[in-house]
Structure 1
Amino acid sequence: MEKRRGLFQRFLDLVEKVGNKLPDPFILFIGLSLLMIVVSYIFSLFNASVVHPGTGEELEIQNLLSGEGLQFILTSMLDNFTGFAPLGLVLVMMLGIGLAEKVGLMDYAIRKTILSSPPSLVTYTVVFVGILGNLASDAAVVLIPPLAAMVFYKVGRHPLAGLAAGFAGAGAGFTANIFIAGTDALLAGISTEAAAIVDESMVVTPVDNWYFNIVSVFVMTIIGGLITTKFVEPRLGKYKGEAVEDEENEELQNGGKGFRNSIIAGLSYIALIVIVISLPNSPLRGEDGSIVPSPFLDGIIPIVLFFFIIVAVTFGITVGRIKTGKDVSDYMAESMKDMSSYIVLVFAIAQFIAYFNWSNLGTWVAVNGADYLKDINFTGIWLIIGYIIFTALMNFLITSGSAKWAIEAPVFIPMFMQLGYHPAFTQVAYRVADSSTNIITPLFPYMVIILAFIKKYDKKASIGTYISLMLPYSIAFLTTWVILILVFYYSGLPFGPGIYPFL
């Protein structure tokens, strides 16, 4: 047993060593853009071409080092950046979600939900809140685990079990939510850009994985709770360490009225939307009265934005954090500051994808890759499962979900479209793989923070303690999600409004 753990530990050390040698994501995509330029030149020397599957047109690989290529690089740079689909989607979403976070609504809602949970349901509540916490983006990973540890300690249970449950929900369950989150907008935008390599009319919307995500929330809540109570907690035993004082947020303890008012305001807004949709000849319905497609789905991002603004402003005014209109704009500006690193990264990602598309290398890889998979008879659902495993392993080298998807999407979405798969289905496969192994990769940026929380309760804890705590959740989440995809796949259930595995 010790020998196995030693071998695994050496494997983790190797992964950490290799991963640490990877450049910053911005530099990585600059390097990939330069690589595209060189590869396009090499392919052009051999007069490589590919037949476009949609139009039947023969496309030559275009040389980015040619005069025409250099003109494209210079004249398209700004358009590549400002026209990059995920940029506007994510920034608009974060105006609302960021406002809710800055006024303290997210923090209060998380604390209120966990601390008010009945002891018999506290484990499942912790996982549930952790999963929904991705609305607050990475803030949930920092806030929920230590709070869950304290709650477990207060009810006489091992605090590390609570910390693990909270981190599993916030980290491994990151992709799921009942609500439309910033992650949905971000990934959908990248997916749309990638799908355009094959079909420029193909659009992946932020709601295309919504049904699957909603089901995932409840399934993963149950799985996370069972892993905590059946595996993690019995292994930890009874806690014999010293007590750790809770770090209460005193200012928000008086936010009950604000929370209540924000719920009322949010429900009133939802009721108004439902009424408008239900009206005869509703402007939010399609021409034939349908919901899929419809202006409602096309405008889901602004609708969600207004929801978060309404509940955030209501909460902020009630608790005294918003006194004037300037306070609202100041909080929104603060949330945009938090997105500065993302904006910088998008500039590099946008150039890489644009070069990939313009050179026709994306189409070449997609068509030839699909043909190869057909030749070896590696298609069907086992191909998707293989892709999930591949992405889960890639998480040990590149932990940024958006960066990894920006690399994978231009290759796998067009390739799988050639095999008949809908881009939103490929996106689902990516999301479950990326999310599941977040919590066990040593390169996860919040690993050090979680390890510090663990050390509060176990002074001798190390990375081995961390991995042993989180590995059962990672395996269980990934396995369950694969099974859930199979259930949707074979039962014909839609992954989102009008979205099925095949085109």
Structure 2
Amino acid sequence: MSEENKNGNNTDNGEQQSKGLLNVIEKIGNKLPEPFFIFIYLAGIVMILSMIFHWFGATVEHPGTGEMLEIKSLLSFEGLEFILSSMISNFTGFAPLGLVLVMMFGIGLADKVGLLETAIKSSILKAPKSLITYAVVFVGILGNIASDAAFVLIPPLAAMVFYTIGRHPLAGLAAGFAGAGSGFTANILVTGTDALLSGITTEAAKSIDESFIVTPVDNYFFMAASVFIMTIVGGLITDKLVEPRLGEYKGNVEKEVNEVTALELRGLRNAVIAALIYIAVVLLLIFLPGSSLTNEDGGLIPSPLLSNIVPIILLLFITVGSAYGITTKKIKSQNDVVTYMAESIKGMAGYIVLIFAAAQFIAYFNWSNLGTWIAVNSADALISINLTGLPIVIAFSVLMTLLNLIIFSGSAQWALMAPIFVPMFMLLDYNPAFIQAAYRIADSSTSVITPLNPYILLVLAVMRNYQKNTGLGTLISMMLPYALSFFGIWVVMLIIFALLGIPFGPGVGVNM
């Protein structure tokens, strides 16, 4: 047998084994209870663990404040009072719930009047099909400029794009979710994430050097390069692994793709004009002297503009959706706007129910201090290994991927970990900005496979709109190749930058 045939067979065997493993993960995952009950069971487990840890007097020192925290039992009078008194506020105060519902007002309006479909048919359908996957991943990665709103906006639109061009909608959803989730930390722009994480890193570094500052651009070169590399990686995974495994789409969604009419084109034109006017007004408000949208120095990072980007995007969607709907006669009175918004929220009923259970579990986990205990003790275990050089940095990244499965918020996890690891690595002569980059790639990669990501429930709800018999196992098996590949490629990039002395940002190397 020739080497070519041997290599071909090896490749085929490898692909079959990979698909077989993902099929096993999907089958096991889909045998799990509904996500609502998964969170209920997890909440019960947290209750029992909190009681056991409390009995043994478990405590943990908060790395940021130095406060000694005890594990509080949920199965106590104090715990019972917390469970009952916080049940409603846990739900109504759960930040992702409000973000998703508010965004759906605008997105739903634009969808119901037909704007999104017309925009897709007028632009993406005319683009080379070979580039659409990469465009979806690229847009998903850049979407983090809108912070968590990217999770709400990108995956459903990506599914619609793929469906419209005759491809499997779940493959499009996966590509969009991978870009928005696993690629969350990368961007060719400096975003609020850069400012938030660099501020936490700076505070942690001051325990060693009061004058040390990590700026929002200290990871810029690394993250900007990541956008293009991860776009290629995400596109290849979608086209070569995820979509072939999904097979031909035979769902029950029947939607005839008609040519764009002259009236729809006029509506699209007016929507674009409305968007340009809206953006011009926002820019005017930004650059006016003493603008309330900028910070005290007149800058945008951080600023009220970025902090309030979700309402700004909501108003943009309402503006363009209304302009399109009025032009195409889909909106004949102001009551129609309310009707379309209400219809869009009806489809979110399942998500709202899921979030109720998820919010309780996360609240119990945080109140009991179990999350902090696990994070700090995991960090201590890594420190005790006594590794040196790049291996300890890689081990640190691996630990962060595991912790991300139980602490979804990137800023919350870094606020816990930075006071422990930044000073430790500084004493080993590592630049805090380099360690921050090692953290960011880990935190971002696995966000698409952790059930504690509240937006994974939204993605699951969108999946079921196209394919009813999908479960959490389907979603995790579909996203696992992205999570592992993004993290693996990022680790390789980290090593290459370190060994070749490529700066991670302006003047930022591996060592201080």
Question: Any idea what SS the aligned residue of 1:371 has?
Answer: helix
1:173-192 alignment, distance < 5 Å = 173-175=179-181
Equivalent residue in structure 2 for 1:265, among 268, 274, 277: 274
Deviation at 1:470, TM superposition (A): 11
Checking the alignment, whether the CA contact within 8 Å between 1:165 and 1:228 is kept in structure 2 is yes
**Aligned match of 2:421 in 419, 422, 438?**
419
Which residue pairs with 1:461 in the alignment? Answer: none
Out of 31, 38, 42, the position equivalent to 1:28 is 38
Q: Is the 8 A contact 1:123 1:225 kept in 2?
A: no
> How far did residue 42 of structure 1 move?
0.6
* Structure 2 letter corresponding to 1:64: L
Partner of 1:110: 120
1 CA distance for matches of 2:129 and 2:40?
A: 46
Give matches, 1:234-245, under 5 Å: none
**TM-score when normalising by structure 2:** 0.66
Which SS does the other structure have where 2:60 is aligned?
A: strand
User: In the superposition, relative to structure 1, how do residues 261 and 29 fare at CA in structure 2: closer, same or farther (>3 Å)?
Assistant: same
Work out whether residues 62 and 359 of structure 1, in 8 Å CA contact, stay in contact via their aligned partners in 2. yes
**What SS is found at the alignment partner of 2:72?**
coil
- Shift, 1:41, TM fit: 0.9
Deviations 1:128-175 (A, max 9, x none): 14754876555445433344358xxxxxxxxx9xx9985764454353
1:328-352 Cα distance to aligned partner (Å, 9 max, x none): 1111111211222221122111111
| In 1, Cα distance between equivalents of 2:323 and 2:225 | 30
Give the Cα–Cα distance (whole angstroms) in 1 for the partners of residues 367 and 170 of structure 2: 46
Question: 2:108 and 2:70 mapped to 1: Cα distance?
Answer: 45
How many Å apart are 1:39 and its aligned residue?
0.7
Distance verdict in 2 for CA 1:59–1:39, change over 3 Å: same
Aligned to 2:88: 78
Alignment match, 2:445: 432
Q: Given the superposition, is the C-alpha separation of residues 317 and 12 from structure 1 closer, same or farther in structure 2, using an over 3 Å criterion? A: same
Q: What residue number does 1:382 align with?
A: 394
Residue 360 of structure 1 aligns with which residue?
A: 369
Map of 2:456 onto structure 1: none
Which amino acid in the other structure matches residue 417 of structure 2?
F
1:404-483 to 2 correspondence within 5 Å? Answer: 416-417=417-418, 418-420=420-422, 429-435=442-448, 480=489
**Could you say which residue in structure 1 is the equivalent of 2:71?**
61
Alignment-derived partner of residue 301 in structure 1: 310
Change (3 A) 1:413 1:17: farther
Counterpart-to-counterpart distance in 2, 1:31 and 1:4? 36
- Relative distance call for 1:339 and 1:384 in structure 2 (3 A) is farther
Deviation per residue, 1:160-203 (Å, 9 max, x gap): 9xx998576445435369999xxx99x99xx99xx9xxx9xxxx
Residue 161 of structure 2 corresponds to residue 144 of structure 1: yes
Is the aligned partner of 1:255 residue 2:258?
no
- Aligned: 1:128 with 2:99: no
Q: Please report how far the alpha carbon of residue 314 of structure 1 lies from its aligned counterpart in structure 2 after TM superposition.
A: 0.9
For structure 2, the 5+ residue unaligned runs are: 1-8, 141-150, 205-218, 245-253, 423-431, 452-458, 469-476
Q: Which amino acid aligns with 1:17?
A: K
Instruction: Compute the RMSD of aligned alpha carbons.
Output: 5.0
Query: Do the aligned partners of 2:74 and 2:80 also contact (CA within 8 Å) in 1?
Result: yes
SS at match of 1:26: helix
User: Gapped runs of 5+ residues in structure 1?
Assistant: 151-159, 200-208, 236-244, 395-403, 453-466, 495-500
1: CA distance between counterparts of 2:324 and 2:115? 7
Letter in 1 for 2:445: V
2:123 alignment partner, SS class: helix
Q: Separation in 1 of the partners of 2:176 and 2:377?
A: 39
1:492 Cα offset (Å): 3.7
In structure 2, the CA distance between the partners of 1:4 and 1:432, relative to structure 1 (3 Å rule), is closer
Q: Aligned pair in 2 of structure 1 residues 294, 172: CA closer, same or farther (>3 Å)? A: closer
Aligned: 1:349 with 2:358: yes
- The letter of the residue matching 1:173 is G
Residues 322 and 446 (structure 1 numbering): CA distance in 2 closer, same or farther, change over 3 Å? closer
Q: Does 1:48 align with 2:58?
A: yes
CA contact (8 A) 2:42 2:361 kept: yes
**Cα pair 2:118 2:260 within 8 Å, conserved:** no
Contact 1:128/1:169 (8 A) holds in 2: no
Whether the aligned pair in 1 keeps the contact of 2:72 and 2:79 (CA below 8 Å) is yes
Is this contact kept in 2: 1:95–1:305, CA < 8 A? yes
Change (3 A) 1:355 1:487: farther
CA contact (8 A) 2:122 2:260 kept: no
More off after superposition, 419-428 vs 284-293 = 419-428
Structure 2 CA distance for partners of 1:138 and 1:289, relative to 1, 3 Å:
closer
Describe the shift of the 1:67–1:299 C-alpha distance in structure 2 as closer, same or farther (beyond 3 A).
same
Distance 1:253 1:212, change over 3 A: farther
Q: Letter of the 1:124 partner, please give it.
A: L
Residues in 1 aligned to 2:301 and 2:392: alpha-carbon distance in whole angstroms: 27
Query: Aligned partner of 1:82: which letter?
Result: T
Q: Is the 8 A contact 2:175 2:235 kept in 1?
A: no
Residue aligning to 2:48? 38
Aligned pair partner of 1:315 in 301, 324, 348: 324
Give, in whole Å, the separation in 2 of the partners of 1:94 and 1:319. 21
Taking a change above 3 Å as real, the CA distance of residues 80 and 285 of structure 1, as seen in their structure-2 partners, is: same
Give the 3 Å change call, closer, same or farther, for CA 488–129 of structure 1 in structure 2: same
Matched letter for residue 18 of structure 1 = I
Q: Which stretch has the larger CA shift, 69-78 or 416-425?
A: 416-425
What fraction of aligned residue pairs are identical, expressed as a percent?
42
Letter in 1 for 2:345: M
Counterpart residue number, 1:203 = none
Match status 1:336 vs 2:345: yes
